[in-house]
Structure 1
Amino acid sequence: MTLAVLGASHTPLMQDGVASEDVRAAVKQGFASLAKRAEGFAPDLLIQFAPDHFNGFFYELMPSFCIGVNATSLGDWDTSTGTLPVASDDAVRLSEALIEDGLDIAVSYRMEVDHGFVQIWERMFGSFSRFPTIPIFINCAAPPLPTFKRARLLGEAVGRWAAASGKRVLISASGGLSHDPPTPSIVTAPDEVKERLISGRHPSQDVQRARVERVLAAGARAVDGTPEILPVDPEWDKAFIEQLQRGNLRDFDSLTTKEVREKAGRGGPEVLAWVAAFAALSVNGDYKADLIYYQAIQGWIAGMAMMFAESKAPRV
């Protein structure tokens, strides 16, 4: 059946980070346009690829990929808490199909997701419960990370299952593009931070407040440039978007996450989610990918992009 892709950047600084009113208005309009495209597609099912930011997944047990059979939103930053409308039976069937297709996928019956999954839906619809959902976590923040080739193969396997499901499936990616948030490294972090990266589930209000203040301060410094944060790189983002639009997804196979971190920032590998989503769509043949919005917003430490893509014609 019909497949489509919806991709959008997220950022913890969207609510309180530094940006002009014109930029905020344009972002709001971009999400409205994206919502209209999603509503027009009228999906029976949403499959979403997204990262985590050491809120739901930790180094105590860090899978490369994980499907949520049940999931709840933690409500970090400007997002809401609550239960995601997970299509649990479909999630189980998809996990079984991926194993049969050669993908070693983890499953969670109690997945916890952060703003990386839910923020874009709340910005589009005011709620993350608009469509029945299968959440798929991709580790984009805790090295060693999965390769771009592996993310592509995951996406293609998801696409094959979706295309055979008999449903209209909207495949989503949230993350990226170039951005360099002040995420600590477990290699160099002090012991108390290492412990949070290993097992930091449900931190105290004081710890949460300190984390929020640290990121807000980093965003304020990023407006004028600061040596500890790479600036958002619109040229890198443009090249990435154009490569998605060309559809030559195997060209990403030679890209390394180390290279992406060096050029697009510590959060740059979140584009793994975009590669997986577009790879899923590619199993239906050629597609047309529209760039609905893009802006390098330094105060949000985010290359904010929004895209919608549909197959040109189903592959026979």
Structure 2
Amino acid sequence: MPRSPPGRAPMHERPCMGCPVRSSSRHPVFTWRTLWQCVLPLVKSLLIFGPDKRFVPRSFSCRDDARAVTTARFLGGVYMIVGSVCMSHSPIMDKNRASPDTEKRFHAALNEARNFVAAAEPELTVVFYPDHVNGFFYDLLPSFCVGIEGQSIGDYGTAAGKLNIPQDRALDLVRHVMDRGVDTAISYRMEVDHGAMQPVELLADAYPLSRIIPIFINSAADPRPNFERVRAIGEAVGEWARAAPERVLVLGSGGLSHDPPVPALATATPEVRARLINGGDLSHEQRMIRQNRATTEGIAMRAGNSKLLPLDPAWDRMLLDAFLAGKLDVLDDTSDRSITETGGRGGHEVRTWVAALAAMGPGYAARELFYEPIDEWITGMGILSATAA
């Protein structure tokens, strides 16, 4: 048996930690060092390094959620939020082809974003998205809405069907967001369009992103939430994700500058106005007319004779530079009217980027993967990845 220093009791006579009973063959002795030597291999077996070089728990089944949370609390400072991807969407990219070089650069950047997602191995994806008057209407129009149950409507070639939304996790997110002072609606019948589904489907080529929580941010219809409130919901979601028992990816889908041919309530015909207020399913003929109108405008914009507001690369560049520098208040003093006049009616969708990046917390690290104004797609196309500080 090891010899003890003078003045100290022999090891076999010292009490165990937190126990007054003397050591015996039935009651072994542990020091802090020996305890850590026993625990460390277990901790290492439960953890791997994530893409942001932080320890993050491995995948767990639902029944292991409690064990994942316990491990995270034991380590302290473990980040369960594995990163963010913000990207523009364009529903006509498959019909209106850009130049081969442009498409090659875009798809190379998209593959880089896919690899970022695959390396992060997310178990849950939160997607901030705008609606295009497909699921939210003026009969009851919230600033924010979290989907508890929902389905993809399958517009512009996206897959239709019931979404895999974990109800208990979505409701837990809602409670946390509201506890942080951000009022959000919930929906058990959310109709989700390409604004959410296109980026999810594009990024899921290398790693499945089927388990999602969609969060609608009103960007198409006036009045819209201001950017301070958008940051507030993003920060609350990020705080929730850091304590989550699964690895959470946050997506921001929308923008940058673009002016899609979406009707406005103030100038709509009586028939269109009724549709904007009351909603309802579009017939096949109505949906084809809407989609063909967007395709035609893309061709016209490329030819230089579109009636839509042209793309604004300078405005897009200003936003991207601000987001890369962590300046999420860049549009705080800009009126919605000014955004419409500069970035177009679709420029308001940058609210989704602001929310997703706010979820990363102060000091996040962002990287621009792609930006080009693509007239054929009627959109300033950008892709940005980010990790929490």
TM range (shorter): over 0.9
Which of 200, 213, 225 is the aligned partner of 2:292?
213
Q: Is the 8 A contact 2:150 2:190 kept in 1?
A: yes
Match of 1:299 among 367, 376, 379: 376
Could you say which structure has the larger radius of gyration? 2
* Structure 1 gaps, min length 5: none
What's 1:27 paired with? Answer: 106
Equivalence map 1:107-122=2 (5 Å): 107-122=186-201
**In the TM superposition, what are the counterparts of 1:53-132 in structure 2 within 5 Å?**
53-126=132-205, 130-132=209-211
8 Å Cα contact 1:121/1:128 also seen in 2: no
Asked if structure 2 preserves the Cα contact closer than 8 Å seen for 1:281 and 1:287, the reply is yes
1:266 to 345, 367, 372: 345
TM-score (norm 1): 0.93
Q: Is the 8 A contact 1:67 1:107 kept in 2?
A: yes
Partner of 1:242: 321
Residue equivalent to 1:163:
242
Where 2:118 maps in the other structure, the secondary structure is: helix
Cα distance, 1:270 vs structure 2: 0.2
Q: What SS does structure 2 have at the residue aligned with 1:249?
A: coil
TM superposition shift of 1:25: 2.5
Matched letter for residue 160 of structure 2: T
Match of 2:366 among 289, 294, 309: 289
- How many angstroms does 1:130 deviate by? 2.0
1:9 pairs with 84, 88, 94, which one?
A: 88
Please tell me whether the aligned partners of residues 43 and 131 of structure 1 are also in contact (alpha carbons under 8 angstroms).
no
Q: Secondary structure at the match of 2:107?
A: helix
**In structure 2, what is the equivalent of residue 311 of structure 1?**
388
More off after superposition, 247-256 vs 181-190: 247-256
Instruction: Note if contact 2:150-2:165 (Cα within 8 Å) is conserved in structure 1.
Output: yes
Residues 244-263 of structure 1 show CA distances to partners (whole Å, capped at 9, x for unaligned) of 11112234322332221110
Amino acid at match of 1:303: G
SS of the residue aligned with 2:239? helix
Deviation sequence 1:15-62 (CA, Å, 0-9, x none): 112412222232222221111000111123211100010111111111
Equivalent residues of 1:68, 1:109 under 8 A apart: yes
Kindly indicate whether structure 1 or structure 2 has the higher relative contact order, using CA contacts under 8 Å at least 6 residues apart: 1
The alignment-based identity, stated in percent, is 40
Quote the Cα distance in structure 2 between the aligned partners of 1:188 and 1:98.
36
Runs of 4+ in 1 over 4 A off after TM superposition: 126-129
Q: What letter corresponds to residue 310 of structure 1 in structure 2? A: T
Secondary structure of 2:155's counterpart equals coil
Considering only aligned residues, what root-mean-square deviation do their CA atoms show, in Å?
Answer: 1.7
Q: Kindly provide the amino acid, as one letter, of the partner of residue 293 in structure 1.
A: F
SS at match of 1:13: coil
CA distance in 1, matches of 2:350, 2:94: 22
CA distance in 2, matches of 1:215, 1:127: 29
In structure 2, the gaps of 5 or more residues are: 1-78
Change (3 A) 1:2 1:255: farther
Pairs aligned (count): 310
Note closer, same or farther for the CA distance 1:112–1:127 as it changes in structure 2 (3 Å cut): farther
Deviations 1:275-316 (A, max 9, x none): 01111112xx3121011111100111101111110123xxxx
Per-residue deviation at 1:166? 4.0
Secondary structure of the residue aligned to 1:181 is coil
User: Partners of 2:358 and 2:199 in 1: how far apart?
Assistant: 21
280, 284, 289: which one aligns with 1:201: 280
